[in-house]
Structure 1
C-alpha cells in the first residue's frame, strides 16, 4: 500500500482515536490517508502549540499516546513548547511533522530545517522516516518508548516523497511488558525500616497516577496508618478527605504540611518525580532515610539518595510490601523507646493535618470582592462532582489550586508542574473533554495565560464542547509581580490591559460572563454547568494581594 496509508494503518493498530493538528502542503498525503480512516478523527486546531497541549492532556487521562501533527518549518517549531511540556510532565505523546523531499534535505530549500535535532532535547526519541518499509517498526517503537516509564514524548518526521512510496508490509501489534518487582531482601529491609521508624511519611507523586496505583496506595496508607502528602501532579491519588492525608506540597515558603516532612525520619516516596519539587526543599540536611518506590530507578541527586530502591510495577511492589509488613510486624523487634516516640509524633501529624484543613476552609463564607482565591476555589469545588475535571493553567492560580482545591480521585485536577507552560489550560480542556465526554471540564486561567491560546475557543465552539473557562482577572502577571515586590519592593513590566471578555467570548460563538460580586459567581457557575454544547467563559476579579501569602515563610509550629 501507499506509505502514508501504511502510516495511518499503524496508528490505527495503536488504537489512536484523535490526531490534533494543522495540515500543510508536506502532510497532504498523510491527511488524505487520515480522512479515509474509519477510526481516527482529525481535530483541526488554530495553533500547533495548542495541538500538543490537547494531545498531552488526552494522553494523561486515557493512558494512551496522544498524537499531534504539524507541517515542516514553522509548523514543527510551533509544536515544541507543547511537546516539551508533555515530555517533562511525563505524558505519552507522539508528534508527527511533515518534511521536504529527501533530495532537498542536504541543502537550503523552502522551510527546510532539521526537526530531529530540534526535538532531540525535548523528547525521549525522535526519528526521520527514510523508507516505506521502515514505517511499521518505527511507529511501534515510537509508541513503545512513549508509554515506557517514565512516559514522555516521541517525534517522527515524514518526508513528502517517502509518504508517496509503496510497501507490502503490515503494522506490528503491541505486546504487554513484563511485570518486575523488588527482591525479597529489599522487601525485608524496607519492612524493617518502616516498622522501626518513629515518624514515617508517604510522599506521593505523578508516577502513581500514570501507573493506576491509587487504590493500592490508599490501602497501604490505611493499613499502616502512615500519614501522607502529595506533589502538585499527585493530587487525588489519596483523597484529601482521608484523616491521615496532609494535602499538597510544592511551594516551600508556605507549605504548612512541609512541617511533617521536617519531623519525618523515613520518607516513603512513591512515584515521586524530582522535576516537580526538589528534594533539597525537604531533605536539605540529608538526614532522612528514603525508600524509593517507582517504576524506574531513582534520579541522582545530592539530596535524594535512597537507602532502599524498589523499581517495578507499583501495584505489584506495594502489594508485596503490604504482605511483608503484615507478616513481619510481630517478628521485627520494636523497642519501647520507639513506641513512646511514635504516639506524640502522630499527634503532631494530626495537628498539622487539622491546620492544613483550617487554612483551606477559613474563607468559605467570605463575600468580599474582588473575590479571594480561597473562596473562588471553594465555590467551584462545592459545585463540581468528585469525578469532574479541573485543569489549571500556569500562574498564581496554579499555586492556589494546588493548595486549596480538594481532590478526591486521581486525574481530576490536572496541573502542569514539570515544564509549567502558560497557555496550557484552554487547549488542555479540549483534550480532556474529548477524552471524557460525559464529565464536566473546567479550565482555570489567569488573564495572562488565557490570551496565549485564546484562539482555541473557536475549536471548542466548532466541536460543540461545553468546557467552562474561569479567568482570574488582575491585569498582571501575578507570580512574577509578587516575587519582584518581595525582593525589590516594586514590580516592573508585568501589567497589561484586558479586553472585554464577554464580547470576546461571544465573538467566537461562546457564552461570556463578567462577574461583579462574589455572591454572583456561584449562580453563574451553576448556570454554566448546564451548557451541553457551548463553551462558557467566566471572567472574575481576583484579590491579588493574597498572592504574597504564597511566598511568605511559614515558621515551624509545635
Structure 2
C-alpha cells in the first residue's frame, strides 16, 4: 500500500478519533488517505490552536491527541502548543510535512530543521526516511506520549516518502502495567505519616487520574487528614469537602500557606517542579513525602526527604491498607484555617459594583455551572480568582495551565472539551488579551455546530502583568489597549453576542447562554482594582492573625 495509507492505518490502530490541524501541500497524500479513513479531520484556523485542542484531548482522555501541520511556518506554529503539552503533562502527537528528501527541486524554500527544533520540546521526534519504518515510529510516538510522565511527540513525513509503496503491517500496542513502588519506600512513607503530629495532604496534577482520585478519596475519608491542591490538581478531590484547606493559587501568605507552615509532614501526591511551587521548603522544618510516577527533580524549593516512586493509585491503596488513624494527630490549627478561609471565600460574592467584581463573577459562574461542566481557562488575572474561589467537585472540570501558563489556549481547549464530552457544558473563560490570540477559532466552533459559551472578561489591558507592574512599584506603562466591539465581532462569525449592563444581569444571561444551543460570547467588563488589596494585603493580614 501507499505509505500515507499505512500511516493512517497506524493511527487507526491507536484508536485515533480526531486529527486537529491545517494541511498543506506537503500533506496532500496523507490528507487523501485520511479522507477515506474512520478518523475525523477537525480543520482549525491556526496550527497553534490545533495543538492546544490535541493537548486538551489528551488531558481529558489519557490518549494522545493528534494534530497536523505542513512544513516551515505550519510546523513552527506548533512550537507553543508543543511546550504547552510537554510542560503540562498532556499526551499529544504532532505530524508535520516536509519537502522531498530524496531529491530537492526547490532548494531550501520553506525548509527549517523541524526535528531539531522539536527536540527540547518533546519526548520523541523523528523524520521518517522509509515507508517501512512508519509502524514502529507511530507506535513509539504514542507509547512515549502516553506513558508517565505524558507529553508531546512528533514525526515528520516528507511528501516523497508519503507516496512510496510498502508491504509492512501495523504494530499493535503491547500489554503494559506501570511499575509499583518499592515495599521499603512504602513502609518509610507510612511510618512518617504515622509518627507525624500534624500531617497534611497535597494533591498535584499527576494525581489527576481516575484510579488515583478514587484512592485519594478513600484516604481522606479513612484518616481525616486535611488536604489542599495545586492549581492543576483542582477537582481531584471534592473541594466542598470539610477537610479542604484551599488551593495554592498564590505563591505565599495565603490561608493555605499557614496550614502548610504548621504541618510537620506533607504528603505530596503528583507534583513536580514544573508547576509553580505550592509551598516553599525550608531545610529541617518538616518531612515531605514525594509520591509520584517518577523520582523528584530536586530544586531550591523542592527537596523531599522520602520518595515513593511508582503507580500513584497503587501507592495510595497500599497506604490505605497499612496505615491506621492516629490518636495523636492534631488538626485543630487546620480547623481554624478552614473556618477563616470559608468565611473569606464568601466575602464579596454579592458585591453589586459594575464592572463586575471578580469574586461575584466566580460565585455566579459556580452557581450556574453543573458539577460536571468544564471550565477552560486561558491565562490571565482571573486565573488566580478562579483557582482560589471556584470549588470543583469532580476531576477535570476546570482546565487551567500552571506549567507553561500560555495565553491563547482557553478557547481551543473549550472546543476540544466539547468534542470529547458533547453531553457536558463547556465554557471558555478568557481575557481580552488571550482571546484575541486565537479568537479566529470562534469560526471553528460555529462550523462544528458546537454548544459553547465564551466568557470574555474585559479590562482593556494585559491585566496580570499590569498588576505585577504595580506590585513592583513601576508606573503603569505599556499594558493598556483598545478592543473591538466583541458582541459584533462574535456575530460576524455567526455566534451570538451578549453584553450585560449590570452585575445583576450577568447570572441570568450566563444561564441562558449555557442552556441555549449555539456558540455564545458574553462581553463582561471586570473590575480588577481590588487585586492588590485582596490578593496581597488583606489575605496576608487576615491569615497572619491565625
**Common fold, TM-score beyond 0.5?**
yes
**Counterparts of 2:468 and 2:121 in 1: how far apart (Å)?**
28
**Counterparts of 2:104 and 2:97 in 1: how far apart (Å)?**
12
Distance 1:286 1:40, change over 3 A: farther
**Counterparts of 2:452 and 2:78 in 1: how far apart (Å)?**
23
**Counterparts of 1:278 and 1:106 in 2: how far apart (Å)?**
51
Q: CA deviation at 1:546?
A: 2.1
Q: Please tell me whether the aligned partners of residues 280 and 302 of structure 2 are also in contact (alpha carbons under 8 angstroms).
A: no
* Alignment of 1:42 onto 2:26: no
Q: Please tell me whether the aligned partners of residues 99 and 159 of structure 2 are also in contact (alpha carbons under 8 angstroms).
A: yes
**Counterparts of 1:230 and 1:360 in 2: how far apart (Å)?**
16
Q: CA deviation at 1:222?
A: 1.4
The 4+ residue runs of structure 1 with deviation greater than 4 A are 104-108
What residue number does 1:301 align with?
Answer: 299
Q: Please tell me whether the aligned partners of residues 201 and 227 of structure 1 are also in contact (alpha carbons under 8 angstroms).
A: yes
Per-residue CA shift, 1:35-80, capped at 9, x if unaligned?
A: 010x200011000000001111111111111011000000001111
Q: Please tell me whether the aligned partners of residues 253 and 550 of structure 1 are also in contact (alpha carbons under 8 angstroms).
A: no
**Counterparts of 2:474 and 2:82 in 1: how far apart (Å)?**
37
TM-score, length-scaled by structure 2: 0.96
Q: Please tell me whether the aligned partners of residues 22 and 45 of structure 1 are also in contact (alpha carbons under 8 angstroms).
A: yes
| Aligned counterparts, 1:38-437, within 5 A | 39-103=38-102, 108-210=107-209, 212-253=211-252, 255-278=254-277, 281-326=279-324, 339=328, 342-343=329-330, 346-437=331-422
Distance 1:542 1:254, change over 3 A: farther
Residue 156 of structure 2 aligns to a residue whose secondary structure is strand
**Counterparts of 1:499 and 1:212 in 2: how far apart (Å)?**
46
Q: CA deviation at 1:131?
A: 0.2
Residue 102 of structure 1 aligns to a residue whose secondary structure is coil
Q: Please tell me whether the aligned partners of residues 294 and 312 of structure 1 are also in contact (alpha carbons under 8 angstroms).
A: yes
2:520 alignment partner, one of 531, 536, 550: 536
Distance 1:156 1:210, change over 3 A: farther
**Counterparts of 1:89 and 1:34 in 2: how far apart (Å)?**
29
Q: Please tell me whether the aligned partners of residues 181 and 310 of structure 1 are also in contact (alpha carbons under 8 angstroms).
A: no
Q: CA deviation at 1:182?
A: 2.3
What residue number does 2:469 align with?
Answer: 484
* Alignment of 1:547 onto 2:535: no
Residue 166 of structure 1 aligns to a residue whose secondary structure is coil
Per-residue CA shift, 1:435-490, capped at 9, x if unaligned?
A: 00000001111111111100000000000011100111110111111111121242
**Counterparts of 1:106 and 1:81 in 2: how far apart (Å)?**
31
**Counterparts of 2:509 and 2:462 in 1: how far apart (Å)?**
26
**Counterparts of 1:268 and 1:369 in 2: how far apart (Å)?**
42
TM-score, length-scaled by structure 1: 0.94
**Counterparts of 1:445 and 1:26 in 2: how far apart (Å)?**
34
**Counterparts of 2:281 and 2:109 in 1: how far apart (Å)?**
53
Distance 1:185 1:104, change over 3 A: same
Residue 69 of structure 1 aligns to a residue whose secondary structure is strand
**Counterparts of 2:528 and 2:545 in 1: how far apart (Å)?**
27
What residue number does 2:27 align with?
Answer: 27
**Counterparts of 1:523 and 1:240 in 2: how far apart (Å)?**
25
Structure 1: which 5+ residue stretches go unaligned?
A: none
Residue 530 of structure 2 aligns to a residue whose secondary structure is helix
* Alignment of 1:517 onto 2:515: no
**Counterparts of 1:449 and 1:302 in 2: how far apart (Å)?**
31
Residue 275 of structure 1 aligns to a residue whose secondary structure is coil
Q: CA deviation at 1:142?
A: 0.2
**Counterparts of 1:234 and 1:175 in 2: how far apart (Å)?**
30
